[in-house]
């Protein structure tokens, strides 16, 4: 299909003829409507980072395994390891609460551009524009909240050329219902991650709870009952064929398809190499320790998975940018835009400054960008520095209002839960190794003049050895153990905090960043904001025949396309679906990423597929479509032309890792778990037929398309 993560609000503006030709049978109203129930009511944002969908009238929700991973880890112990073994609640009472986890259900979205820009003209000075826009956004969001009834915020689109209001109900009682064993839900591990062909049962299940009036509660409540959604998706057992219509509804996180060539170049040769190198180091050290100790393996499982996920993403993105010459393509596009602008005085006046300003700003940014990357990925790549940063509100309170006992107590209270959470998954000896290695790289790779003071201390007092300095920090800092942190919190003083070597290290990095690096970058970025806005406006004005979709920004989008194979590279063609046969082919009991649980092996060897077999008698596992998605779409429903669930989107493919920066219709695919494999894992492998029976299973003949 075409590029595009579209705002469902505008589904009527999409090419209806094209959608119908591809197989869509639903009306625009059935897809998005504020007044009657529509597809949008079945799709939720999970925890701000993933997507889920309702599959029963009792609030039962499907999402990916990697979206539920943290919750699964939290409920696991070495003795009762549900992450490893899988788990399906036999009764509602067995469903597990997850304080802090929430889902947002969209009430409505609205184009409020003209209201936000009221009083703004093309000549309004930038600072004034920012103030007006911020004020209007706040007013509109505040009004939409209706005194706390809703969560509401404004997001800009097209680099600040348009503004939209989003109004949600937020449900703070989301309980874990089930998941397959990790060996199924993460089958293939990091080796298969971001790759096709895939054999992963990447799903988990939750249930959203509400009060007796079906209203959201902020936290889990014992007397809550299952939420009754306005709409839940029927589930189709029909299965997919090449060319079938497919629609993906969800909350894509971030794309940067309007990033100028200079920005791409900076990502390619500065940011990504730094991230890859630092994550590579961190992951290796974590893994060494995880392999030594099962308890530690469990503690670090979730952090490891999320750091590894984007480590591989950056590698793939850089490989792809080189192979596809993404920067050159963008340069060519900019050259032609520049020509178009120069051909007309009016255009010169309106957009003339954009490209020059952009290129100058990036030249400036390149001088500081590495520092910013190393603050994020080296200093904050260590856990002790991250914990120290959490002390900032308390630190500021102790410093500015040292006699205000109530304020200090409030800051302490705010730390209690995060500190408990933090130490649940912490090993100071592991962190010490990471600290030693990452900070040494920071000192080596970042321009000397931009290093924080602590590097001089290490040079002068520790002979330049981060190992020696780490000995000192991890022996003397109270930030290395929960008991010591709690002792400090029981009687916090400014002197104690300021003297703590862990906090001192953080503070040195922080002060250097906020005083010497950030202000310079912010000045450059302020200029960029305006230039980017003009650049995007110029592009759209030039290419009037092209309908642009706004970059992803964690708001509800739909993408439509078809089930479709692809050509990966010269002489390599990929089929559009995988089957259980591939699980047996990949199976390797000596490699933890490819272990197949005993029960699954037995069932697959007996070909015990039940009603989930495809028409050739195989068990379908995954399939690909050409829907345009990105991170945050994880868990999104893949819906056929009749609005029935056929799969769960869970990944993208290696050949199109540059997709967040530039879209290539021939290469980019969306990787989905076939819903029949999901149901097989619940019913046959998990023995939880009661969960499948809660769903509305339909059999309406082949998918349209």
Active site residues: 66, 202, 634
- Among positions 85, 309, 581, 696, the unique one binding ligand ARG when judged by CB under 6 A: 309
Closest CA relative to residue 484, chosen from 432, 428, 559: 428
Closest CA relative to residue 523, chosen from 334, 360, 353: 360
193 or 658: CB nearest ligand ARG: 193
Please provide the DSSP assignment of 344-380 as one string: -HHHHHHHTTHHHHHHHHHHHHHHHHHHHHHIIIIIT
**What is the spatial distance between Cα 66 and Cα 69, in angstroms, rounded to a whole number?**
5
- Among positions 2, 111, 190, 445, the unique one binding ligand ARG when judged by CB under 6 A: 190
**What is the spatial distance between Cα 23 and Cα 633, in angstroms, rounded to a whole number?**
22
Closest CA relative to residue 169, chosen from 151, 153, 146, 155: 151
First to last CA, the chain: 13
**Does 187 interact with ligand ARG (rule: CB under 6 A)?**
no
- Among positions 137, 193, 238, 653, the unique one binding ligand ARG when judged by CB under 6 A: 193
For 21, the token pair is 């030709």
- Nearest approach in angstroms of CB 114 to ligand ARG is 36
**What is the spatial distance between Cα 331 and Cα 594, in angstroms, rounded to a whole number?**
43
Contact stretch for ligand ARG (CB under 6 A) within 39-47, 281-289, 302-310, 315-323: 302-310
Half-sphere exposure of 524 (CA within 13 A, CB side): 19
Beta bridge partners of 248: 559, 638
- Among positions 634, 640, 653, 658, the unique one binding ligand ARG when judged by CB under 6 A: 634
**Does 58 interact with ligand ARG (rule: CB under 6 A)?**
no
194 or 488: CB nearest ligand ARG: 194
**What is the spatial distance between Cα 251 and Cα 253, in angstroms, rounded to a whole number?**
6
- Nearest approach in angstroms of CB 593 to ligand ARG is 8
- Nearest approach in angstroms of CB 189 to ligand ARG is 5
- Nearest approach in angstroms of CB 194 to ligand ARG is 5
**Does 631 interact with ligand ARG (rule: CB under 6 A)?**
yes
For 359, the token pair is 């290129």
Token pair 């969001």 is found at: 141
Output phi, psi for 367, to 5 deg: -70, -25
- Nearest approach in angstroms of CB 50 to ligand ARG is 9
- Among positions 22, 186, 533, 669, the unique one binding ligand ARG when judged by CB under 6 A: 186
**What is the spatial distance between Cα 260 and Cα 362, in angstroms, rounded to a whole number?**
10
235-236 and 697-698 as β-strands: parallel, antiparallel, unpaired?
A: parallel
- Nearest approach in angstroms of CB 622 to ligand ARG is 12
Half-sphere exposure of 29 (CA within 13 A, CB side): 2
**Does 189 interact with ligand ARG (rule: CB under 6 A)?**
yes
159 or 637: CB nearest ligand ARG: 637
**Does 317 interact with ligand ARG (rule: CB under 6 A)?**
no
262 or 307: CB nearest ligand ARG: 307
Contact stretch for ligand ARG (CB under 6 A) within 55-63, 182-190, 403-411, 673-681: 182-190
Helix H or strand E segment including 697? strand 697-698
Q: Is 22 helix (H, G, I), strand (E, B) or coil?
A: helix
Please provide the DSSP assignment of 126-167 as one string: HHHHHHHHHHHHHHHHHHHTTTTTSEEEEEEEGGGTEEEEEE
Q: Is 566 helix (H, G, I), strand (E, B) or coil?
A: strand
Contacts with ligand ARG, 259-298, as mask; x by CB under 6 A? ----------------------------------------
652 or 686: CB nearest ligand ARG: 652
**What is the spatial distance between Cα 98 and Cα 116, in angstroms, rounded to a whole number?**
37
Contacts with ligand ARG, 194-233, as mask; x by CB under 6 A? x---------------------------------------
**Does 582 interact with ligand ARG (rule: CB under 6 A)?**
no
- Nearest approach in angstroms of CB 314 to ligand ARG is 12
User: Counting beta carbons within 10 angstroms of the beta carbon of residue 353, is it exposed (0 to 12), middle (13 to 18) or buried (19 or more)?
Assistant: middle
- Nearest approach in angstroms of CB 655 to ligand ARG is 14
Contact stretch for ligand ARG (CB under 6 A) within 226-234, 243-251, 305-313, 417-425: 305-313
- Among positions 22, 40, 66, 669, the unique one binding ligand ARG when judged by CB under 6 A: 66
23 or 250: CB nearest ligand ARG: 250
With both helix axes pointing from N to C terminus, report the angle between 518-542 and 126-144 in degrees, rounded to the nearest 10.
80
Closest CA relative to residue 279, chosen from 312, 322, 321: 312
By CB under 6 A, the residues from 657 to 686 that bind ligand ARG are none
230 or 254: CB nearest ligand ARG: 254
Contact stretch for ligand ARG (CB under 6 A) within 189-197, 204-212, 376-384, 603-611: 189-197
22 or 186: CB nearest ligand ARG: 186
Query: How many other CB atoms are there within 10 angstroms of residue 245's CB atom?
Result: 27
SS in 3 state form for 608-643?
CCHHHCCCCCCCEEEEEECCCCCCCCCCCEEECCCC
- Among positions 289, 551, 651, 674, the unique one binding ligand ARG when judged by CB under 6 A: 651
190 or 367: CB nearest ligand ARG: 190
Contact stretch for ligand ARG (CB under 6 A) within 304-312, 509-517, 550-558, 601-609: 304-312
For 629, the token pair is 């998605």
- Nearest approach in angstroms of CB 635 to ligand ARG is 9
**Does 305 interact with ligand ARG (rule: CB under 6 A)?**
yes
537 — alpha (psi -120 to 50), left (phi > 0) or beta?
alpha
51 or 224: CB nearest ligand ARG: 51
**What is the spatial distance between Cα 327 and Cα 322, in angstroms, rounded to a whole number?**
8
- Nearest approach in angstroms of CB 71 to ligand ARG is 15
- Nearest approach in angstroms of CB 634 to ligand ARG is 4
Token pair 């000397």 is found at: 448
**What is the spatial distance between Cα 12 and Cα 591, in angstroms, rounded to a whole number?**
50
Site size for ligand ARG, by CB under 6 A? Answer: 12
355 or 583: CB nearest ligand ARG: 583
76 or 630: CB nearest ligand ARG: 630
- Nearest approach in angstroms of CB 601 to ligand ARG is 21
Q: Which residues bind ligand ARG (CB under 6 A)?
A: 66, 186, 189-190, 193-194, 305, 308-309, 631, 634, 651
């Amino acid at each position: 299909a075409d590029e595009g993560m579209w705002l469902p609000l505008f589904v009527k503006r999409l090419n209806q003829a094209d959608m119908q030709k591809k197989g869509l049978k639903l009306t625009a109203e059935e897809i998005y409507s504020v007044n009657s129930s529509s597809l949008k009511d079945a799709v939720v944002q999970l925890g701000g980072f993933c997507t889920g969908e309702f599959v029963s009238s009792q609030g039962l929700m499907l999402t990916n395994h990697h979206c539920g991973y943290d919750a699964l880890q939290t409920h696991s112990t070495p003795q009762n390891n549900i992450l490893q073994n899988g788990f399906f609640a036999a009764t509602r009472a067995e469903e597990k609460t997850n304080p802090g986890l929430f889902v947002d259900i969209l009430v409505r979205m609205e184009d409020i551009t003209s209201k936000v820009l009221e009083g703004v003209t093309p000549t309004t000075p930038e600072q004034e524009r920012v103030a007006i826009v911020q004020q209007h956004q706040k007013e509109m969001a505040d009004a939409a909240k209706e005194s706390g009834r809703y969560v509401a915020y404004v997001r800009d689109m097209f680099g600040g050329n348009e503004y939209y209001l989003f109004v949600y109900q937020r449900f703070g009682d989301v309980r874990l219902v089930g998941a397959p064993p990790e060996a199924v839900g993460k089958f293939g591990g990091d080796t298969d991650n971001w790759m096709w062909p895939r054999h992963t049962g990447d799903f988990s299940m939750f249930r959203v709870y509400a009060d007796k009036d079906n209203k959201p509660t902020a936290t889990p409540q014992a007397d809550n009952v299952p939420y009754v959604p306005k709409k839940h998706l029927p589930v189709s057992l029909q299965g997919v064929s090449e060319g079938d219509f497919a629609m993906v509804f969800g909350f894509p996180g971030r794309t940067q398809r309007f990033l100028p060539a200079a920005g791409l170049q900076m990502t390619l040769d500065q940011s990504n190499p730094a991230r890859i190198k630092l994550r590579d180091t961190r992951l290796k050290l974590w893994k060494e320790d995880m392999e030594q100790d099962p308890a530690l393996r469990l503690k670090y499982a979730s952090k490891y998975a999320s750091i590894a996920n984007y480590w591989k993403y950056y590698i793939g993105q850089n490989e792809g940018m080189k192979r596809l010459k993404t920067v050159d393509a963008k340069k060519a596009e900019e050259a032609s835009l520049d020509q178009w602008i120069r051909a007309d005085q009016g255009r010169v006046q309106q957009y003339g400054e954009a490209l020059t300003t952009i290129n100058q700003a990036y030249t400036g940014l390149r001088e500081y960008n590495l520092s910013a990357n190393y603050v994020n990925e080296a200093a904050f790549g260590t856990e002790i520095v991250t914990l120290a940063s959490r002390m900032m509100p308390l630190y500021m309170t102790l410093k500015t209002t040292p006699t205000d006992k109530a304020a200090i107590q409030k800051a302490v209270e705010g730390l209690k839960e995060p500190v408990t959470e933090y130490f649940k998954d912490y090993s100071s000896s592991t962190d010490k190794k990471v600290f030693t290695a990452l900070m040494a790289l920071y000192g080596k790779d970042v321009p000397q003049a931009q290093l924080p003071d602590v590097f001089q201390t290490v040079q002068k007092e520790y002979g330049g050895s981060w190992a020696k300095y780490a000995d000192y920090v991890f022996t003397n800092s109270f930030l290395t153990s929960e008991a010591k942190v709690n002792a400090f919190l029981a009687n916090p003083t400014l002197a104690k905090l300021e003297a703590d070597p862990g906090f001192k290290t953080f503070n040195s990095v922080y002060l250097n960043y906020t005083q010497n690096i950030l202000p310079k970058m912010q000045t450059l970025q302020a200029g960029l904001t305006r230039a980017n806005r003009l650049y995007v406006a110029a592009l759209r004005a030039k290419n009037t025949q092209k309908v642009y979709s706004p970059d992803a920004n964690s708001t509800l989008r739909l993408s439509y396309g078809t089930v479709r194979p692809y050509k990966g590279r010269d002489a390599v063609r990929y089929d559009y679906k995988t089957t259980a046969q591939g699980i047996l082919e990949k199976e390797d009991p000596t490699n933890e990423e490819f272990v197949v649980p005993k029960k699954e092996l037995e069932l697959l060897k007996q070909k015990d597929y039940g009603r989930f077999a495809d028409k050739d008698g195989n068990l379908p596992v995954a399939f690909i479509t050409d829907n345009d998605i990105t991170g945050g779409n994880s868990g999104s429903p893949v819906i056929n032309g009749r609005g029935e669930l056929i799969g769960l989107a869970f990944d993208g493919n290696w050949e199109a890792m540059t997709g967040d920066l530039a879209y290539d219709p021939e290469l980019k695919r969306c990787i989905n778990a076939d819903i029949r494999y999901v149901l097989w894992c619940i019913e046959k492998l998990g023995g939880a037929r009661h969960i499948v029976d809660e769903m509305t299973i339909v059999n309406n003949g082949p998918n349209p398309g």
